[in-house]
Amino acid sequence: VPVSPEWLSRQALQLPVPGFSEGMERLASARLRVVGAGAMAAPALLTLSRAGFTRIWVEDDAPCDEPNGWLGEHPGLSRAAAACQVLSSYSSLLEVERYPAGGVPTATLVCVNSSAAATAMAEQARRAGVPHVVMEPRGDGGTVVSVPPGAPCYVCSRTPSMESWPLSPLCAPLACIAAVEVFLAVLNPHPRAGRRVELSGGGLTYLPTVRRAACACGQPVRR
């Protein structure tokens, strides 16, 4: 595991705890890809940048033009570039970079506001064998869909009849749930079932995902 002396000294107290060091090393050696750096993604990015990851790839080409947004206004910079500056400043142990074209992450979190864009990102991750998590906000809560390799794909598992997801007051807790789901995907890479986490009425419901009949995701991926 490519960990620095600084990382080792930071984790010195925890590493001797049985079972702890393995997880810390998984987080430290992971490359986490986050698609989206706008208001919807902000709570997830802020959570994940403090979660023990050392490398986060951010992807969002939209201009960074909201003076009162979480990134502030940066003329000429994309949201991804501004997020890299803001999040990298939190810790010398954390490198936040723009997603390098063709880079294969350990896991992907998708925080975009349209079903079509989320589906395209999820399908790219599935074909690369990368566990991925998609958040789908709604006015009264929303859903986080978790797709480990081999599980029913996002198309099988997504919420039907939703084309776009506007920001809502419950986006922030939903994004934190999405952050936890992708954190668990890296921490526990053993084969797991896919699931939908529903945030509704102030509570969470966990539902297994089910493969749709004849969906191509039942076939082995050819790479």
Window 94-153: residues binding Zn ion (CB under 5 A):
153
Nearest distance, CB of residue 218 and Zn ion, angstroms = 7
Nearest distance, CB of residue 108 and Zn ion, angstroms = 17
Q: Which of 64, 71, 199, 217 binds Zn ion (CB under 5 A)?
A: 217
Q: What angle do CA 70, 48, 26 make, to 5 degrees?
A: 160
| Closer residue to Zn ion (CB): 11 or 143 | 143
Q: Which amino acid is at 112?
A: V
Any idea which residue has 């084309």 for tokens? Answer: 163
| Closer residue to Zn ion (CB): 8 or 215 | 215
Nearest distance, CB of residue 210 and Zn ion, angstroms = 9
With contact defined as beta carbons under 8 Å apart, do 129 and 117 qualify?
A: no
Window 145-164: residues binding Zn ion (CB under 5 A):
153, 156
Is residue 23 classed as helix, strand or coil in its secondary structure?
helix
How far from the centroid of its chain's Cα atoms is residue 62's Cα?
18
| Closer residue to Zn ion (CB): 26 or 211 | 211
Angle (deg, nearest 10), helices 20-29 and 171-187: 110
Distance separating alpha carbons of residues 109 and 120, to the nearest angstrom: 13
Looking only at the bridges linking them, the beta strands covering 73-78 and 95-98 are unpaired
| Closer residue to Zn ion (CB): 150 or 189 | 150
| Closer residue to Zn ion (CB): 141 or 152 | 152
* 215 belongs to the binding site for Zn ion (CB under 5 A): yes
Residues forming contacts to Zn ion in the complex (CB under 5 A) are 153, 156, 215, 217
